Amino acid sequence: MKIGLEVHVQLPTRSKMFCSCPTTDAPAPNTHVCPVCLGMPGSRPVLNRQALVYGIMLAKMLGCKVADTTWFSRKTYFYPDMSKSVQITQYDHPIGEGGVVYLNGKKPIRITRIHLEEDPGKTRRTAEGSSLVDYNRSGIPLAEIVTEPDIASPEEAREFLAQLIADIKHTIDIPDDGERSIRCDCNISVGKERCEVKNVTGLKNAERALRYEMVRQIKILKAGGKIERETRAFDEERGITYSARKKEFEADYGYIDEPDLGIFRIKELVDSVSIKESPAKMTQRLSSQYGIDEKKAKQLVSTSVNLAQFFEKVASAYGTQEAVRWVIGPVTANWKRFEERGGGTEAVLAVLGKFADGTITDTECTIELKSVMTGESAAEAAAQTDDLEKIISGYLDANPQIVEDYRKGNKKAANSVIGHVMKSTGGKYSSSDIVEAVTRIVESRI
Amino acid sequence: MDRDVVARVARAAHIKLTDDELERYSKDLADILDYFEVLDEAPGHEGVGVNPVEVTNILRDDVPGQEIDSTELLRDMKTYENYIRGPKLV
Amino acid sequence: MSDRDTLSKLDKINSVYGMFHDFGGEWTDDTEFLFSAKDNLTSKGFETCAGSRILEGYRPAFDATAIARMKEAGGQLIGKTNMDEFGFGTFSANSAFEVPKNPFDLGRSCGGSSGGSACAAAVLEDHVSLGVSTGGSVCCPASFCGTYGIVPTYGRVSRYGLIDYGNSLDKIGLLSMDPAKLSEYLPVISGKDPKDPTSCVQPELRIEHRRISSVAVPRESVEGISDSVKKAFTDALESLRSMGVDVEYVDMPQLKYAMPAYYVLATSEASTNLARYCGMRYGRQDGDLSLGFDDYFTSFRTEYFGDEAKRRILLGTYTRMEGFRDRYYAKALQVRMGVIDAYKAQFRDHDAVLTPTMPFVSPRFEDISAMSPVENYKADFLTIPPNLAGTPHLNCPCGYDGDGMPIGMQFVTDHWNEDLLLTMAEDWDRQFEVRHAEVKV
């Protein structure tokens, strides 16, 4: 099975791609509009620098060869949501080509290209059959990322999309507003001929649509039928794909250059744009640099890139072993509340410093970390930790087999302790606190 | 020019042609394209040809703003509750 | 006739010549001069249709930059001039509205596509009109109506508010009987405009009164032209020599590729520009919305585009279609670069390239209707090359045939060298007796 994706990401600019209309939520339909995004005769586009910069960042993140010279093209098609009946996109001179993304650090998924284009408006149907159009979305900048058909299953597609979305959000600072800002076209072939499922929103739906399409194609082939190359649509509610009546031939788009924008010689700009390490790359690096388990590295990074950075800080100050013990332990457990409070990491680092020079014991360190990170009083934290540790220790004393099993490599042995503590304390402690304490105490007994 | 090709072009362009028009435009386009044949022998060029003078790196800062009130723009449009009315989506 | 008289008589004048699509206005305290503008420039206060029924009812919410700048300089816009639909024509006969009549012979064309602008410039006293040239639409009507007409370098005047024909070709220019007005108003409408990126690379337009001291006359340009044009042009060359200008005949074989390249680029771009006209948002919107969108759009485009608009849409859709695109569209882009190189080569030794403007004087309307599309297109073979190359060019009246119909010559200079043309127009006007049409009101 071969799956290739075309992923559309809205870029977080403040104004639209070719006009200065705001990109924020509009008070009513057709209020964030101007002659340009309404396609009024006589208007013309001017490119938003930030959209270009975001495009360059993503091209770099995807390991693409970034163009020295890039420009835009016109894709002509008739639909009520496209105010000019022409979409300004990139055709033969996209911003980036020939990249590669390693899924979970291992499997290469080749990136064909990344280009910039404008979003069309939104349409609604009325009861009597006509349509209503809102052009507030018209002209919002999009990056389209096209992969080679290197993805082997719907599950893998979902995994890839999750990694890609996390990397994109981190690279260009998209606020965490859910996954629905990602739309994709999914190409899938079980046999020789492929079908394209257009305009699927979100990664859950991408997996559902692909799974449905996979089963459909397998059934047809098993029955001796032939897959017809076609464009299909996905019905989110019913979870099925269906043939899109209107066939789209690339020939009809009749791409030509967009003369109104000129061209962009971006070598200098490309050199001046640097990007942050993507979460996927950071995971791989943490794992290999510190010799920690890939899952632990991923847990750190997916909790928060800031947490992963703090891990590195601790590792450089007190060694990897202490970083693993404290950061992947109590610090991770308290990180969400810590970030909500918006404190600096210096105080946290200071607590670890006290432990390192022997001023405080490990139990005191755990209590102080919790207190510093959550803002609870030390006594409260101590009492809680104390009670929690007593329950855990008591249970472990009564069931010595658990530590023995854990020592032999059966990490799941700790689950029975966690389950017991959760049940017996009835929601008094957060699950992350319990998991952290159990892991810490079990490991300390080995 | 082949009538089928002209018919396909007309469909793409969203223009309906009667049989007579199809005949006439096919002939016109054939004449015109004959006249364009000289292009085939013209020398090529390596330059970037988007514009006749090079227009490079003209960019706008990412600052939101609207000059014209949207109600003024929608004044002569067919609307319903501020949506612009369009045909059936099929 | 004073400007106030002109305003009060617009109705009468227009009923004779038909130069305006929409017009009117009163003299006010702020008015320093009157001007008109081709109807493909958007303007508040006047309907803007670009000669097409599909835009009927479009009242733009914004002024084109060129119009706004003329107004800021004290100009009052008095009317929008008739034109070929979207600029598609050489005689303004492809207008969905009125076809302007030649001031020297009402039975003949004003030329096109800025025919109404040339007519207004020729008939109204002390008038200046904004025209637009894609492939010759300023110099052709200027030549047929015996006026001066200047088209600056591509990108010199902002195209914001210009209803597009071919975005890599369209240029806004000026027409007037008085060359001093070209020098006065070209700087007004020129300059960078953040709303049109293609206007933002220009060097400043400096009026330094530099003179053209040598011209190259391509031999190809005097073949296939009428005897009267040839004679007037040859006489004009003599006059130029007497003004101290070196005249040299040269070969520019690349020019023969200019016309097909132009029509491919112009129609390819036009067919995408015109895709937006489909019965929604502006212009005609009086259709049955319960129709499927393809049928709905098709019905408007079929009913409201004229014959030549359809022909050019079909041609342009074809030349950019997958499978034909490389042979036509992509090749035409390369050919344009070659034509630009050919001009640049001439400008190493000469200040300007000089040709007649049109191969014949303005034809009668009945002769125009008998012309085939290819014959029609061929009429532009002299005006197309500079338009394709984006080089500035100027029409100067240079003679009259036996019937008194005007003949023009066309100077072409290198990109951004409008100053040479402006000086030439004023110098020429001092030694050539330009005839004014007798106004029949």
Q: Among A62-71, A348-357, A410-419, whose mean pLDDT is lowest?
A: A410-419
> Going by DSSP bridges, is the β-strand pair A240-243/A230-235 parallel, antiparallel, or unpaired?
antiparallel
pLDDT band at A362 (very low <50, low <70, confident <90, very high): confident
Q: Among B61-70, C20-29, C244-253, whose mean pLDDT is lowest?
A: C20-29
Tens-digit pLDDT profile for residues C118-159 = 999 999 999 999 999 999 999 999 999 999 999 999 999 999
How far from A173 is each of A11, A52, A307, CA to CA, in Å?
A: 9, 15, 17
Structure tokens at C250: 């040269």
Positive or negative, the CA dihedral B41, B45, B48, B53 is: negative
A426 or A372: whose pLDDT is higher? A372
Which residue of chain B comes nearest to C258, CA vs CA? Answer: B39
The answer, for A339 touching chain C at a CB cutoff of 8 Å, is no
Across the interface, whether the CB atoms of B89 and A28 are under 8 A apart is answered no
Kindly report the CATH number assigned to the domain that includes residue C413.
3.90.1300.10
Residue whose structure tokens are 């004290």: C74
What number is the average pLDDT over the span A139-143? 97
Tens-digit pLDDT profile for residues C14-43 = 999 999 999 998 888 889 999 999 999 999
What number is the average pLDDT over the span A243-257? 73
- pLDDT for the residue numbered A260: 98
Across the interface, whether the CB atoms of C198 and A262 are under 8 A apart is answered yes
Among residues A37, A87, A248, the alpha carbon closest in space to that of C294 is found at A248
Which residues of chain B does C310 touch, with a Cβ-Cβ cutoff of 8 Å? 15, 25
Which residue of chain A comes nearest to C169, CA vs CA? Answer: A259
Instruction: Note if C242 is an active site residue.
Output: no
Mean pLDDT rounded to a whole number for chain A: 91
Tens-digit pLDDT profile for residues A271-290 = 999 999 999 999 999 999 99
C324 within domain boundaries: no
Mean pLDDT rounded to a whole number for chain C: 97
A353 Cα distance to chain centroid:
34
Q: Which of A321-330, B40-49, C335-344 is most confident?
A: C335-344
What number is the average pLDDT over the span C413-425? 98
Structure tokens at C377: 């297109």
Domain ranges of chain B: 3-40
Give partners of B (≥3 CB pairs < 8 A). Answer: A, C
What number is the average pLDDT over the span C425-440? 96
Inter-residue contact A8 to A158 (CB < 8 Å): no
- Rounded to two decimals, the pTM is 0.90
What number is the average pLDDT over the span A153-181? 86
- C-alpha span between A219 and C55 (Å, rounded): 52
Q: Among A390-404, B65-79, C27-41, C400-414, whose mean pLDDT is lowest?
A: A390-404
Q: Among A101-115, A402-416, C113-127, C413-427, whose mean pLDDT is lowest?
A: A402-416
C134 within domain boundaries: yes
Which residues of chain B does C373 touch, with a Cβ-Cβ cutoff of 8 Å? 28, 31-32
Length of chain B (residues)? 90
The answer, for C215 touching chain B at a CB cutoff of 8 Å, is no
Residue A250 has pLDDT above 80, yes or no: no
Which residues of chain C does B63 touch, with a Cβ-Cβ cutoff of 8 Å? none
Whole-number percent of chain C with pLDDT over 90: 96
Tens-digit pLDDT profile for residues C368-393 = 999 999 999 999 999 999 999 999 99
Instruction: Note if C43 is an active site residue.
Output: no
pLDDT band at A245 (very low <50, low <70, confident <90, very high): low
Inter-residue contact C116 to C166 (CB < 8 Å): no
Catalytic member of C36, C43, C137, C143 = C137
Inter-residue contact C421 to C394 (CB < 8 Å): yes
Interface of B with C in 40-69 (CB under 8 A): 40, 42-45, 47, 49-56, 58, 60, 68
What number is the average pLDDT over the span C69-74? 97
Query: Can you give the residue range of the structural domain that contains C12?
Result: 3-255+334-431
pLDDT band at A343 (very low <50, low <70, confident <90, very high): confident
Tens-digit pLDDT profile for residues A34-85 = 999 999 999 999 999 999 999 999 999 999 999 999 999 999 999 999 999 9
Q: Angle at CA C348, nearest 5°, toward C342 and C352?
A: 75
Tens-digit pLDDT profile for residues C294-334 = 999 999 999 999 999 999 999 999 999 999 999 999 999 99
pLDDT band at A367 (very low <50, low <70, confident <90, very high): confident
A363 or A122: whose pLDDT is higher? A122
Helix (H) / strand (E) containing A213: helix A203-222
Q: How many domains does chain C fold into? A: 1
Among residues C330, C41, C404, C393, the alpha carbon closest in space to that of A256 is found at C330
How far from A296 is each of A309, C327, C348, CA to CA, in Å?
A: 14, 58, 70
Catalytic member of C43, C92, C113, C129 = C113
DSSP conformation letters of B2-43 = -HHHHHHHHHHHT----HHHHHHHHHHHHHHHHHHTHHHHS-
pLDDT band at A249 (very low <50, low <70, confident <90, very high): very low
Instruction: Note if C38 is an active site residue.
Output: yes
**Among B22, B45, B72, the residue to mutate for chain C (most C Cβ within 10 A):** B45
What number is the average pLDDT over the span A109-122? 98
Strand ranges, E, within C10-125: 20-23, 33-38, 75-81, 101-102, 105-109
- pLDDT for the residue numbered A387: 82
What number is the average pLDDT over the span C219-237? 96
pLDDT band at A247 (very low <50, low <70, confident <90, very high): low
3-state secondary structure at position A19:
coil
- pLDDT for the residue numbered C228: 98
C9 within domain boundaries: yes
Across the interface, whether the CB atoms of B49 and C200 are under 8 A apart is answered no
Among residues A229, A169, A236, the alpha carbon closest in space to that of A201 is found at A236
Across the interface, whether the CB atoms of B51 and A23 are under 8 A apart is answered no
Q: Among A28-37, A275-284, C178-187, C347-356, whose mean pLDDT is lowest?
A: A275-284
C379 within domain boundaries: yes
The answer, for C162 touching chain A at a CB cutoff of 8 Å, is yes
C323 within domain boundaries: no
- pLDDT for the residue numbered A177: 63
Inter-residue contact B70 to A225 (CB < 8 Å): no
A420 or C422: whose pLDDT is higher? C422
- pLDDT for the residue numbered C357: 98
- pLDDT for the residue numbered A446: 76
ipTM: 0.97
What is the spatial order of strands in the sheet that C352-356 belongs to? Answer: C20-23, C75-81, C33-38, C128-133, C171-176, C148-151, C393-400, C406-412, C352-356, C214-218, C246-250
Structure tokens at C401: 């045939």
